[in-house]
Each structure stands twice: as structure tokens, then as C-alpha cells.
Structure 1
């Protein structure tokens, strides 16, 4: 019987209590177990971490990995970035001969593919960070006051727009060809979900979100 140890991670205590971000992980893992697990399976343990993806201090992950090594079970996460946002950290886990990693949203991915995906995801985050800083610097040059008590400043809006445009560019190679072939917004949303690409908030795509993405891509 195939055995799994499930590991989930949210960034804040509020997310853990509200289910924000956690529900999507639970759903993806359930879909994997129901549709992609090899034969009968058993879940030996479930661990929930409340910690930033950039942090290497993961007591719950340590417990999960200990159980994996002792039992030979597979470590199952919903998405690769739930394990970590650092390529070096992911590589260390994957290089452990006693640990086999499975990613629910990428059920057929081999270790080599997971390495590549982790590296590309890290590059994307670095690019978004650079674009956000550039937008803030440009806003400052225009005389926009940064900080203060107002929660929504022009600079913040520009940074958010730059972030959204970068995310739109990421999915453009899927969205644009499908739209060009006459695919509906709903069909494109389903294709993005099948590809394992989440929205900015870690959820599933809707036709309205696809429409907004197309609008961002049309703005040069």
C-alpha cells in the first residue's frame, strides 16, 4: 500500500485560522489522492506549518521528514512553493536518498522537472521584486509621497499593477494562443487550473480573472 506524509504551509497565523490558502492546498491534495495515487493509499501523518516560504526554520517539516525517513512514505505537498520558495532548500530535500517528494498540482513531474520548475519560480519572484522596486522608485521621482498613514497611495497602486502585469506575462504563453484559437474565457481558466498555475491568491481561475489578464496583456 502506498503511504504518504502530508505537509501544508501557510504564511501567517490568520491564514491558518481562516483557511485562506489552506483550503486550496487541501483540495489539491485530495484531488491527487483520488486521481493519481498508485492503488490503495494510507496517510501516515499530516503536518501544518505557519511560516514564511523564505524561512528555513520549519519544525513541522522536520517532523514530517523524520516520519518519511522512518517509514519510507512519500512526502506530499500541494505545490512546490509550499515546501519552500528557495531552490537550494528544495534541492537539499530532493537530494536526500531517503525522501521521495510528490507535488499534488504536478502529479506526473519527475525530480528533474521539479528542479527546473523551482528555479524558474525563483527567477520569476526575483523579477517581480525588481519591477516592484522600479515602480516605487519611479513614483518617488514623480514626487509621489511614499509611506504615511494612507493605505492606498499612487506608488503602491503602481507597484501592484507592475506585479499584476508580470504575472500576466507569465501565463501569456497559455492564455494568448488559446484565445487566438477561439477558446472561451472559462475554457482558458480550466486550462490554467489543469496546468497547475494558481492565481495571485493561490486559488482557482475564473473567466473574469482570465479577462483581466487579457486586458493587462493588451496594455503595452
Structure 2
């Protein structure tokens, strides 16, 4: 029988929003167990940390890992960032010969793919942070004082624009070569979906979304 130890993590802010963070993780884990797990299976234990993703002291994760190592059960999380947002931490878990883990939202991903995904996600977060700081510095250099309701809106808009630009840059390596090869927008969207590259909202790509990314990449040149 396949045995699992389920681990969930939410920040105090997510938990404050009526537990929606936990509900989403429970939903994804349930979908994995029902549609992708070997059968029969059993969930032998469940652990939940309520703390920031940047917090390295996670007592419930430590307990979950201990159970997995002792019993041979597989650690199951809803998303890779529930384990950690650091590539080094993910790599250390992958190198642990006494541990196996699965990611519910990426049911077919092997260790190599998970490592690449973690690295890309870390790069994206770093780039978004840099892009946001640059956008705010540019606004300040143009004489716009950052303060008050209007300027808070400007800050928020700058962050949104920076995030959108970072996401466009992330998929440029897939979209631009296909477009240069003459592939239609719909076919490019199909390639992204087959590669399991999610949109900003975690959905499927459409031709119109591919066009928006191409337009954004073109305007950034």
C-alpha cells in the first residue's frame, strides 16, 4: 500500500483569510490522491505549519520528515513552494536517500523537473523584486513623491507592471522561437499547456494571452 504524510503550510496572513490557503491545499491534495496516486493508498499523518515561507524553522515540517524517514511514507505537498522557496532547500530534500516526496499540482514531474521549476521560481522572485525596485526608483527620479493614496496606487501599478514583465520574460524562451518559426498563436498556447507552464492565474494558455505576452516583449525592446 502506498502511504503518504501530508504537509501543508500557510502564512499567518493566508490563515487570517478564513483559512482559504489551507482549503486550496487540501483540494489539490485530494485531487492528486483521487486521480494520480497509486492504489490502494493511506494518509498516515498530516502536519501543518502556520508561518512565513521565509521562516526556516518549521517544526511541523521537521516532524513530517521524521515520520517519512522512519516509515518510508512519501511526503505529499500541494505545491513545491509549500516545502520551501529556496532551491538549496529543495535540492537537499531531493538528495536525502531516505526521503521521497510528491507535488500534487505537478503529478507527473520527476526530481529533475522539480529542481528546474524551483530554480526558475527563485529566479522569477528575484527578478520581480529587482524590477519593482527599479520601477519605483524611476518614478521617484521623475519627481513623483511616493506617499498618499495616489502614490500608493502608483506603487501598486508599478508592482503589477513589473510582475507582468517578469512573467513575460520567463516564457519568452518558449514563445519567441515558436513565433519566429511561423507558429500560430493557438499552437504556441498548446505548446505552453503541454509543457505545463501555467498562466499568471494558474490556468491554461489561450491565443489572446500569448499575443499579450508578445506585445509586452516587443514594447520592452
Distance of 1:62 and 1:115 partners within structure 2: 21
Match of 2:215 in 1: 218
- Aligned partner of 1:197 in structure 2 is 198
Bigger drift between 43-52 and 11-20 goes to 11-20
How far apart, in 2, do the equivalents of 1:66 and 1:72 lie?
10
Q: CA deviation at 1:13?
A: 4.0
Hey, what's the Cα distance between the residues in 1 that align with 2:205 and 2:22? 19
**Residues 59-105 of structure 1, C-alpha deviations (whole Å, 9 max, x = no match):** 11112112111211000111111111011111222222221111112
Q: Label 1:182 to 1:140 Cα distance change in 2 as closer, same or farther (>3 A).
A: closer
Paired residues of 1:26 and 1:78 also in contact (CA < 8 A): yes
1:82-139 Cα deviation digits (max 9, x unpaired): 1110111112222222211111122222222222221121111111111111111101
Q: Does residue 183 of structure 1 match 2:192?
A: no
The more displaced of 9-18 and 130-139 is 9-18
Q: What secondary structure is seen at the aligned counterpart in 2 of 1:98?
A: coil
Matches within 5 A, 1:118-137: 118-137=118-137
In structure 2, the partner of 1:79 is 79
Render the CA deviation track for 1:30-69: whole Å, top value 9, x for unaligned. Answer: 2221222122110011222222222211111112112111
Are the aligned partners of 1:198 and 1:204 in contact in 2 as well (CA < 8 Å)?
Answer: yes
The 3-state SS of whatever aligns with 2:85 is coil
Unaligned ranges ≥5, structure 1: none
Residue pairs, 1:135-146, within 5 angstroms: 135-146=135-146
Structure 2: how far apart are the matches of 1:64 and 1:114?
20
Q: What secondary structure sits across from 1:70 in the alignment?
A: helix
Residue 118 of structure 2 corresponds to residue 115 of structure 1: no
If the length of structure 1 is used for normalisation, what is the TM-score? 0.80
Q: Which runs of 5+ in 2 are unaligned?
A: none
CA change 1:95–1:198 in 2 (3 A) is: farther
**Distance in 1 between residues matched to 2:151 and 2:41, nearest whole Å:** 48
Between 128-137 and 18-27, the greater mean CA deviation after superposition: 18-27
Q: Which residue of 2 aligns with 1:61?
A: 61
Following superposition, the deviation at residue 199 of structure 1 comes to 3.2
Q: Quick check: 1:28–1:104 contact (8 Å CA) kept in 2?
A: yes
User: Residue 48 of structure 2 aligns with which residue?
Assistant: 48
TM-score where L is the length of structure 2: 0.80
Q: Report if the CA contact (8 A) 2:74-2:101 is conserved.
A: yes
> What's the CA shift for 1:16?
5.6
Q: Work out whether residues 192 and 198 of structure 1, in 8 Å CA contact, stay in contact via their aligned partners in 2.
A: no
